[in-house]
A and B are shown apart, each in its own frame.
Chain A
Amino acid sequence: GQQLNQSPQSMFIQEGEDVSMNCTSSSIFNTWLWYKQEPGEGPVLLIALYKAGELTSNGRLTAQFGITRKDSFLNISASIPSDVGIYFCAGRTAGSARQLTFGSGTQLTVLP
């Protein structure tokens, strides 16, 4: 089946620093999504990408759909304490009957 490799697994950064995380796949995806999960909550959609090369921003978050359609990255600029959480990438292939494959998540800790 499809697999997503998400890295890094965890990050400890100082408040104000920029953050970058990425996902790679063995399959070609036609949709890439980035979710954030806070403790005790369900994942919340941050950014959705639908076209190769697409670059989309949501406030301090920027995500890109890789040209090869096998990767995506998420950047967070000027991190703040409320950015703490687990960030998941997810992808969907054309023939996946609308199922998403999730990455294993990146645990982000922001130190004051």
Chain B
Amino acid sequence: DAGVIQSPRHEVTEMGQEVTLRCKPISGHDYLFWYRQTMMRGLELLIYFNNNVPIDDSGMPEDRFSAKMPNASFSTLKIQPSEPRDSAVYFCASRFSGGNTGELFFGEGSRLTVL
């Protein structure tokens, strides 16, 4: 079975440019999460969706960050304009809410470098 699929795996961009990260969750999973990982702050939850609806975006650092989930199989995280301090690895994760084993499955991450 395919896991959580993220793209791009690596992105290098210049300050001020728009960045769009993409995620395809595991089929049938009803929760989708976006995390950011840095050495300084570890894993931070940015936003999560339930059945395509954003539930909690309190972790989104600034208005420059936005996330959408237009359907059950696709989500985007957009940064506009990007800044060097946004450099991090961004993970998408999904889970199925039913049963005891509905735990998070992570994608391989998108490593973002903003110059």
Contact = CB atoms under 8 A, between A and B. Distances in A.
Interface of A: 33, 35, 40-45, 48, 50, 88, 90, 97-100, 102-105
Interface stretch (B14-22, B68-76, B78-86, B104-112): B104-112
Contacts, number: 43
Q: Binding site of B, secondary structure by majority: helix, strand, loop or mixed?
A: strand
Given A41-B108, A42-B91, A105-B42, A97 B103 contact: no
A100 B108 contact: no
A97 B109 contact: no
Given A41-B109, A97-B55, A48 B42 contact: no
A50 B106 contact: no
A99 B43 contact: no
Interface residues of B, number: 21
A98 B95 contact: yes
Contacts of B106: 35, 42-44
Interface of B: 4, 31, 42-43, 45, 48, 55-56, 91, 93, 95, 97, 100-101, 103-109
A99 B108 contact: no
Nearest to A99: B45
B91 to A, nearest CB: 5
A45 B42 contact: no
B53 to A, nearest CB: 13
9 nearest A-B pairs in the assembled complex, by CB-CB distance: A42-B106, A102-B43, A104-B42, A43-B106, A42-B108, A42-B109, A42-B107, A42-B91, A45-B103
